[in-house]
Amino acid sequence: MSSESDFLAWIKTQQHATPLVQLPAGDDLAVLSWNAGDLLLIGVDQVLDQVHFDSAVHPPRAIGIKAMNRNISDCAAMGCLPAAALVSVALPRGSGVDYAKELYQGLREAADRFDCAIVGGDTGTWDGKLAISVTILGRSAGIKPITRDGATPGDGIYVTGPLGGSILGRHMTFSPRVHEGRQLAGSGRVTAMIDISDGLSRDLPRICSNAVLDAAVIPIHPDVELGFPVSRAPARTPLEHALHDGEDYELLFTARSTPPLGTRIGTVTAEGGLQLRSASRKLDPLVPLGWEHEL
């Protein structure tokens, strides 16, 4: 990068002021005002080149959008509003100021959609690949956050949209379900909620350990029908794509009575582990095959 101070000066001109921001990025710390009674929800998530995106294929603006939207999706999963974000970027040496600006524009574009201010961050260059870490601050704004542990036997299991095939492009361009998450959390009917990042089969056990999913009613995204010309894994059926692909960023939730939105895909049970009921009513164990990082 030619000049870090030029880049930081440029960032100062780009900031989006929201009513919460008393002092934006540029001092040692930013200062936010917080409405009385608001809960602060806070989390961090990183995206890494060759894991969550491919810098040889995806332009920096798209990478910035994804990095921010993954965090905003976590706000959706709790039913809170994204309020502010902090961004730490490790740039490959020689990326250039224009690349860094495009990355920032992507981060900001995604944040602006939800009136979320980027209030601080840090940029460094190194000999490694691009890595972006975003810390998100959410606020409850009058709605009690929904956690992962409230499901009880008899609750319905729902998703906010069709699943599968995100690798064909949607994993970069998804829209976080913040408004849906607010509506669901505010309905008083939702008992547990999570956003689907690792795949239905891997994220479901995070909200309930016993359930029956009905294969015939799991919504499959039209992308799956486009096919997978370059398949990394043994060929999957459309249903298997919907169960295991991941990075759908739809909300997966349980509800004790009919929620204001969502497609019902199953029921929380008292025992039996996670099971999948075929169209012919046969029950089989649901084996988690979604995404898991190797350490």
* SS3 track for 170-202: HHHHCCCCHHHHHHHHHCCCEEEEEECCCCHHH
Q: With contacts defined by CB under 5 A, name the span among 60-68, 159-167, 193-201, 236-244 that binds Mg ion.
A: 193-201
Number of C-beta neighbours around residue 16 at 10 A: 14
Return the residue of 195, 198, 247, 248 that touches Mg ion, per CB under 5 A: 195
The smaller minimum CB distance to Mg ion, of residues 61 and 139, is found at 139
- Reference 100, options 121, 119, 81; nearest CA is 121
Q: Cβ of residue 281: shortest distance to Mg ion, in angstroms?
A: 33
The smaller minimum CB distance to Mg ion, of residues 49 and 74, is found at 74
- Reference 114, options 65, 160, 59, 162; nearest CA is 65
- What is the C-alpha to C-alpha distance for residues 210 and 254, in angstroms, rounded to an integer? 12
Interface size with Mg ion, residues (CB under 5 A): 2
Q: Cβ of residue 221: shortest distance to Mg ion, in angstroms?
A: 19
Look up tokens 């409230």; give the residue: 150
The smaller minimum CB distance to Mg ion, of residues 58 and 70, is found at 70
Binders of Mg ion among 97-126, rule CB under 5 A?
Answer: none
Q: With contacts defined by CB under 5 A, name the span among 116-124, 190-198, 212-220, 284-292 that binds Mg ion.
A: 190-198
Number of C-beta neighbours around residue 206 at 10 A: 14
Q: How many residues appear in the chain?
A: 295
**247 near Mg ion, judged by CB under 5 A:** no
The smaller minimum CB distance to Mg ion, of residues 45 and 155, is found at 45
The smaller minimum CB distance to Mg ion, of residues 72 and 268, is found at 72
Are 258 and 189 a contacting pair, CB within 8 Å? yes
- Residues 57-96, mask of contacts with Mg ion (x by CB under 5 A): -----------------x----------------------
Are 153 and 169 a contacting pair, CB within 8 Å? no
Number of C-beta neighbours around residue 61 at 10 A: 19
- Applying CB under 5 A, the residues found at the interface with Mg ion are 74, 195
